[in-house]
Amino acid sequence: MSTRIFAICARTIPAAWRQSHGAALTDLATEMVESKNSSAPREALGIVLYGLRKRTPKSIRRIAELPWAESLWLLAAPVASIQFAVLLLAQRSGLLLNTQGDYGFQLGMWWTAMLAASGLALIAAVRRDRLILGLGGIAVLVLALFDTYGPGGSMLGGTSHGVDLGSSSGILSPAVLFLLPTTLLPIAAAFVRPTQMPSTSAPARALGRLAIAAPPLIALALTYGRIVGTGEPPRSILWLSVGEPGYLAVLTVIFGSSLLLALLCRSVRHPASALAAALLIATQIPALALVTTFLVVDGFGPDVATLAVTVLLYASSVVAIVRLRFGPIANWSRI
């Protein structure tokens, strides 16, 4: 029993070290307990503290010792994770979703596009892909800063579609204070090429996995909850936040999310993971077409910024899929 508990405690130790030394450590702890020279709780605590010590001081020391270009890359994934998590939470809780007036669904689309771009930047940061990180980061930045339709009053202090830099409150709004640093750091990382790319830390990999798995899980939970509770499809699902998506769109998301989740759970190395990701992103394309139609046909005029950002985002997605499957980030096992 103790051995099993010690093995669980040893999970706090970085994987590479655990694989080579973990068995000797847990066997030693078991021997200490069996010889009555120590107690199981003391040994378990000792192993956990040892694991935490091996993680934390090393990463802090590494950041201080590394050249600045490598430090940027070391920080890119955690920073992108934080940004994605906050945007996801804000978007799903409705903080960023202004549904007032006739533009409600388009406003939702704007922020969900930002969420998608942030997710893309996060994957690229974890995968150490400069091109995708740059594209994703710039898309987030443009989406965050570009004020297209005037103030709409999101609760984060920005406007409906971004941050209004023209107003004094906009410059110091929580949205700007949060989004600028969390976007500029990954973009800066994308523009530097360190002599030696630092390996992704274990917490960053864990956050990366969570970031990939969380949106489908949340979308599934919300979708099922809404359908069971009200008998209607949700107004905004993941990237498909266009008006009333209808049951077909709901089914597409459920199908795509389930497939992606199943593949992620089974084996992230499976080539079909890229196909599943492609399927998910492809479900956004009708949404893009619909939004573009509204923008052009319904009297807003062709909005160049919106189209440019959207094209940038989708181009990034396509490049990401290709690179995930065939390119330098083809090894999914590192996520």
Binding site for another protein (CB under 8 A): 21, 23-32, 35, 37-38, 42-43, 45-51, 53-54
Min. distance of Cβ 27 from another protein in angstroms? 4
Min. distance of Cβ 40 from another protein in angstroms? 11
Min. distance of Cβ 62 from another protein in angstroms? 14
Min. distance of Cβ 15 from another protein in angstroms? 16
Greatest extent of the chain over all pairs of C-alpha atoms, in Å: 82
* Residue nearer to another protein on the CB measure, 39 or 196: 39
Residue type at position 88: L
Our CA angle for 196, 202, 203, nearest 5°, is 115
* Residue nearer to another protein on the CB measure, 38 or 99: 38
Q: From residue 297, how far is each of 59, 101, 109 by CA, in Å? A: 53, 18, 17
Write 36-40 long-range contacts (CB < 8 A, 24+): 40/2, 40/5
* Residue nearer to another protein on the CB measure, 51 or 104: 51
* Residue nearer to another protein on the CB measure, 37 or 230: 37
Neighbours of 9 (CB within 10 A): 21
Min. distance of Cβ 47 from another protein in angstroms? 5
d(CA 106, CA 303): 13
* Residue nearer to another protein on the CB measure, 9 or 278: 9
Nearest to 332 by CA among 260, 264, 278: 264
Min. distance of Cβ 41 from another protein in angstroms? 10
Question: Given its phi and psi angles, is residue 140 left (phi above 0), alpha (psi -120 to 50 degrees) or beta?
Answer: alpha
Q: Please, are residues 309 and 140 in contact by the beta-carbon 8 Å criterion?
A: no
* Residue nearer to another protein on the CB measure, 40 or 131: 40
* Residue nearer to another protein on the CB measure, 30 or 173: 30
Running DSSP on this structure, what letter comes out for residue 280?
Answer: H
Residue type at position 68: W
Min. distance of Cβ 11 from another protein in angstroms? 13
* Residue nearer to another protein on the CB measure, 25 or 281: 25
Stated length of the chain? 335
Our CA angle for 54, 60, 63, nearest 5°, is 130
Min. distance of Cβ 38 from another protein in angstroms? 6
Residue type at position 272: A
* Joined tokens for residue 278: 């492609």
Residue found by looking up tokens 């992606």 in the block? 260
